[in-house]
Structure 1
Amino acid sequence: MSSPYILVLYYSRHGATAEMARHIARGIEQAGFEARLRTVPAVSTECEAVAPEIPAEGALYATLDDLKHCAGLVLGSPTRYGNMAAAMKYFLDGTNSLWLTGALVGKPAAVFTSTASLHGGQESTLLSMMLPLLHHGMLICGLPYSEAALIETRGGGTPYGASHHAGADGKRPLDEHEIALCRALGLRLAQTAGQLGERRG
């Protein structure tokens, strides 16, 4: 049997969400879990995958098995009009076999996002990503205000999950508070997965 892992599943267009995923992975690893980074292919306006079977660079594409066997999930997407990107929604819409079998019930999950503008729908995007996870019976982990960076941030960061203000060109680097909150989210999710795993064991 393989060791337990946390799935960090994201879609990134310009790299900001991917960078957040890497910081979240460091928090997960701090808790002693493997962080398995996976992405999803872009989709066309007809909602069909329009990418090669294997990405040219970065994380591999996620499979339903990656999702089925994870000990926890961190889901990330850039904001699209206050909602998750179509590519992530398309992938989640194809998880009905996992829903039918209850494969994700009781597993912890968290969410993260990146926006072009500071008030560009970060919180509504995070909430939109929570909805399918709740339908799967997952347990949502947010960021508590005991995280000092949540009070001090001048960029991204919400109690609903980690966020980042990437700027209009998507090139603004994560600041120290955004990085701290990404890592804190990964650590908290992994610690929760560990506690839940001990109770099941």
Structure 2
Amino acid sequence: MASLLVLYHSRHGNTRQLARHIARGIEQVDGCEAILRTVAEIGDDRQAPHGDPVVTRNDLDQCIGLAMGSPVRFGNMAAPLKQFWDSTSPEWLSGALIGKPACVFTSSSSLHGGQETTLQSMMLPLLHHGMLIVGIPYSEPALHTTQSGGTPYGPSHLSGGEFRHLSSEEAQLAQACGKRLAITALKLR
């Protein structure tokens, strides 16, 4: 079974909802399994706000693809996720992630809260690691009809106001992105 890592940080559970739908998309592809992991809070290398295990170095080495998600923090990824990537020099030096596909996802409490800049900022460490970025093509019908989250840069969720749970388009786009990531990873393996 080929493992794809779904790595996220989520304080209130909104980004975690997207992670779960991306995992469902990954597992729609025969021979693929999603490994859900989170990052530790700053100052505590074992504690995470949700029930998924904290990511390990072995998770990065063993995965054939990676989905990474963060809530929007002033147009950037959350500090605990950034702190994790800042500690990955050994993987960078060994080339552990070179040539593996990756996608990014995010959530925010407002429509103009910086979703696209957050998605782009998360791509930067992945590009430095030599990963190949996978987005959502406009051939996905939900990308044309969404009134909440979802971009060609990656799945997103608008959690403010009445949109506490993922919209049907947000869920569809997250699953489609997970499926596309898994198919790409198998082709590149």
> TM-score, with normalisation over the residues of structure 1?
0.90
- Identity among equivalent positions (%) equals 58
RMSD of aligned Cα (Å): 1.5
In 2: Cα distance, 1:42 partner to 1:152 partner:
36
Q: Is the radius of gyration larger for structure 1 or structure 2?
A: 1
State how far apart, in whole Å, the 2-side matches of 1:70 and 1:172 are. Answer: 31
142, 164, 167: which one aligns with 1:149: 142
Map Cα deviations across residues 107-155 of structure 1 (whole Å, 9 max, x no partner).
0000000001011000000000000000000000000000000010000
Q: Which amino acid aligns with 1:38?
A: R
How far the C-alpha of 1:102 sits from its partner, in A, is 0.6
1:177 aligned onto 2:169:
yes
The alignment status of 1:192 with 2:184, answered yes or no, reads yes
1:36 is aligned to 2:35: yes
Return 5+ residue gaps in structure 2 as ranges.
none
Q: Distance in 2 between matches of 1:140 and 1:105?
A: 11
Match of 1:46 in 2: none
Distance in 2 between residues matched to 1:55 and 1:152, nearest whole Å: 35
The amino acid across from 1:108 in the alignment is P
Kept in 2: contact 1:84–1:128 (CA 8 A):
yes
Pairwise mapping of residues 64-103 of structure 1 onto structure 2 (< 5 A)? 64-103=57-96
Equivalent-residue separation in structure 1 for 2:23 and 2:4 (angstroms): 9
In the TM superposition, residue 42 of structure 1 has moved relative to its aligned partner by 1.4
What are the superposed Cα offsets for residues 53-92 of structure 1, whole Å, 9 maximum, x if unpaired? 2557521000111011100000000000000000000000
Question: Please, what TM-score do these two structures have when normalized by structure 2?
Answer: 0.96
Amino acid in the other structure paired with 2:33: E
* Structure 1: gaps of 5 or more residues: 44-48
Q: Is the 8 A contact 1:54 1:60 kept in 2?
A: no
How many residues get paired?
188
- How far apart, CA to CA, are the structure 1 residues paired with 2:59 and 2:145? 35
